[in-house]
């Protein structure tokens, strides 16, 4: 279970939104490069970047920060938000990003997902953001009638590397992940799943371990780290220790 710290970029600053609401912004830092280096120093093996301006408007407002972060870090970096064309995806890959996350375009242009996955094997992920099981797009502003599990099943056969599953109703709330929704996505997908949304404590992290067997192999953590609910280095150690002590882990509570 890889713990991936998140940096959400809005107008060049590190922020967090509550449940994807752009009117509920908490600013944590005006220096995203320093924050990225801090996560790397604490033991992060990967960084998750979200271009909130890109997700909302499609405009590359945060590109300077993105390039500065990729230049400063030695660990792999993945980015999502506003990637809606072949040209944009390849531009970001040329910035030095390890993985590109496709969101809205995965619904609007699934052929592009296949093309990018073919052109850049191992570098293309899809983000499925859902509320009450239905997929949301355009920076969570628009809701669709598409079931998240159906989309996961379909897209996992396009050659992508993994799916990031975000539960909008828990994102930024620190109230714990939606385990049943993650279980459903994991069972529907043929590629690994990275969980996102709701992590607020060490016990929330550990609650994901029983899902490793169905492909939940990573978790993105944002607000809990910024609010110092737990320490990244300690969390990485706790995951490893728990896996060694408790494997195999009882999954009956998920039934």
- From residue 167, alpha-carbon distances to 113, 121, 196 in Å are 22, 27, 7
Q: Which of 51, 129, 167, 171 is an active site residue?
A: 129
Q: Provide φ and ψ at 93, rounded to 5°.
A: -60, -40
Q: Is residue 5 within 8 Å of 205, Cβ to Cβ?
A: no
Beta bridge partners of 17: 25
31 catalytically annotated = no
Residues annotated catalytic, as ranges: 8, 129
């Amino acid at each position: 279970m890889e713990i991936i710290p998140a940096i959400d970029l809005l107008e060049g600053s590190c922020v967090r939104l509550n449940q994807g609401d752009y009117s509920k912004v908490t600013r944590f830092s005006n220096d995203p490069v320093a924050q990225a280096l801090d996560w790397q120093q604490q033991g992060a093996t990967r960084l998750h970047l979200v271009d909130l301006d890109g997700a909302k408007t499609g405009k590359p407002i945060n590109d300077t920060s993105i390039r500065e972060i990729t230049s400063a870090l030695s660990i792999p970096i993945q980015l999502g938000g506003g990637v809606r064309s072949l040209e944009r995806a390849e531009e970001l890959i040329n910035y030095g990003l390890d993985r590109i996350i496709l969101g809205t375009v995965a619904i609007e242009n699934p052929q592009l997902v296949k093309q990018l996955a073919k052109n850049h094997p191992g570098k293309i992920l899809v983000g499925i953001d859902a509320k009450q099981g239905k997929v949301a797009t355009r920076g969570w502003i628009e809701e669709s009638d598409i079931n998240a599990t159906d989309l996961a099943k379909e897209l996992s056969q396009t050659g992508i590397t993994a799916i990031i599953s975000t539960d909008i109703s828990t994102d930024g709330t620190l109230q714990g992940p939606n385990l049943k929704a993650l279980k459903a996505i994991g069972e529907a997908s043929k590629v690994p799943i990275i969980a996102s949304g709701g992590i607020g404590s060490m016990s929330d992290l550990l609650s994901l371990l029983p899902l490793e067997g169905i492909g939940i192999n990573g978790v993105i953590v944002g607000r809990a780290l910024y609010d110092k609910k737990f320490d990244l280095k300690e969390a990485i150690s706790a995951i490893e220790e728990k896996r060694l002590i408790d494997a195999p882990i009882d999954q009956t509570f998920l039934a």
